[in-house]
Amino acid sequence: MASHTMKAVNYVGPHKVEVQEVEIPKLEHPDDIIVKVTTAAICGSDLHMYEGRTAAEPGITFGHENMGIVEEVGEGVTLLKKGDRVVMPFNVADGRCYVAMGPYRGGQAQHIRVPYADFNALKLPAGKENEADFILLADIFPTGWHGVEISGFRPGESIAVFGAGPVGLMAAYSAVLRGASQVYVIDRVSERLKTAERIGCIPIDFTLRDPVDQIIEYNGGMVDRSVDAVGYQAVGTGGSKEQPNIVLENMIRVTRPCGGLGIPGLYVPSDPGAPDEASAKGMITLSFGKLFEKARNPTSWLSGDFLTKCNVKAYNRFLRDLIIAGRAKPSFVVSHEINIEEAVVAYEKFDKRLDGYTKVLIHPNGGF
């Protein structure tokens, strides 16, 4: 008799996840598909929830970077069939308006229900080739590319990327692919800075001294563009105390007048673990006068063009094709591949930046 349950990585409370048995998802709408998950990734955004720094409630299944094989198809689905290999964007949309609000169970599990599948699921070549590259189309490769895009970047320009986590490394890699003259990557974790250096970037350790001073010395002046791939849990130069506005302030300082900022880093309206009362409510102080002074077109900056969540579908098809053509290989960022039973330890090590944990891929059904 077929089992009616599956394994899933569920949030239990701050700094605690468990692999639990949950009900296998069913088709709930004609536009749904059920996917057998071959690979799901642990994201830095998952760590915000893991650490209890969001409104996430115990019992949810983590995982918004998911790919696999279509097992069931709703009667309204016309573009997909059983056996198709697909990857899904982290932001679910119905193809009719802007977003399709959940909640939806995450994909760090053996199966996942995908709503509005014709619109959301991106078809991939059959087989197992490029699995570690294609999974990154769910979030971090498009998001890194997006950060560079919304900064207004043009080939030949210099750019500073704050954060050498998975999104930061993807932003830096995107800038390299797009023809940056110099790419500076700012972090404090030596393994991550070494990875940035391997792809042709200049590593900047912000714990040594002011990173803006370091970049200006290297570059002979301010950079053309900058990207925030850190978000609200940023820390100051000492590396021990949270300072939610520090990356934004450094970007304003290091970017030339009439340059551009790209801010894909995560900021939330409610942070239970914030260092101060204002930040706990999502209110962060900013040198807005200096920002306004440097802006090429203040009205466009005020409209939020440089501060937007990534629309994965705006990029995932051509990034997929770059991978297929051999022109892009984003899987260099992957540090570990594990079975689902190892997820508890992986979360702990990724959270503590231990043993080189940078980007972890989970294979919930084995086979890789």
For 138-182, the pLDDT digits (tens) are 999 999 999 999 999 999 999 999 999 999 999 999 999 999 999
Cα separation, 142 vs 107, in Å, equals: 19
pLDDT tier, 131 (very low <50, low <70, confident <90, very high otherwise):
very high
Provide the token pair at 267: 């900021």
* Range from 81-90, 207-216, 359-368 carrying the lowest mean pLDDT: 359-368
At residue 303, does pLDDT exceed 60? no
- The domain ranges of the chain are 5-139+311-363, 140-302
| Domain at 5-139+311-363: CATH code | 3.90.180.10
Higher pLDDT, 134 or 280: 134
Answer whether residue 47 shows pLDDT above 50. yes
Three-class HEC string of 57-112: CCCCECCCCEEEEEEEECCCCCCCCCCCEEEECCCCCCCCCCCCCCCCCCCCECEE
Residue 95: band (very low, low, confident or very high) from pLDDT cuts 50, 70, 90:
confident
pLDDT at 356 over 90: no
Per cent of the chain over pLDDT 90 is 74
| pTM confidence score | 0.92
Q: What is the mean pLDDT of residues 270-284?
A: 86
Top pLDDT among 210 and 275 is at 210
pLDDT over 60 (residue 298): no
- Side-chain-facing half-sphere of 91: CA atoms under 13 Å: 17
* Host H or E run for residue 168: helix 166-177
133 in helix, strand or coil? helix
DSSP-assigned states of every residue in 215-237? HHHHHTS-EEEEEE-S-TT-B-T
pLDDT of residue 301: 47
pLDDT at 99: 58
Residue 101 confidence class, pLDDT cut points 50, 70, 90: low
Q: Residue 261 in contact with residue 296, Cβ under 8 Å?
A: no
pLDDT confidence of 341, banded at 50, 70, 90? very high
Give the span between the Cα atoms of 55 and 271, in whole angstroms: 8
Average pLDDT over residues 284-313: 71
Residue 339's pLDDT is: 97
pLDDT band at 2 (very low <50, low <70, confident <90, very high): low
Single-letter code of the amino acid located at 312: V
How far is 74 from 35, CA to CA, in rounded Å?
12
Tokens of 234: 């940023």
**Which CATH number is associated with domain 140-302?**
3.40.50.720
> Residue 300 — very low, low, confident or very high, per pLDDT cuts 50/70/90?
very low
302 band by pLDDT with thresholds 50, 70 and 90: very low
Could you count the other beta carbons within 10 Å of the beta carbon of residue 193? 19
| pLDDT surpassing 50 at residue 299 | no
User: To the nearest whole number, what is the mean pLDDT of the chain?
Assistant: 92
- The residue-averaged pLDDT of 253-257 equals 95
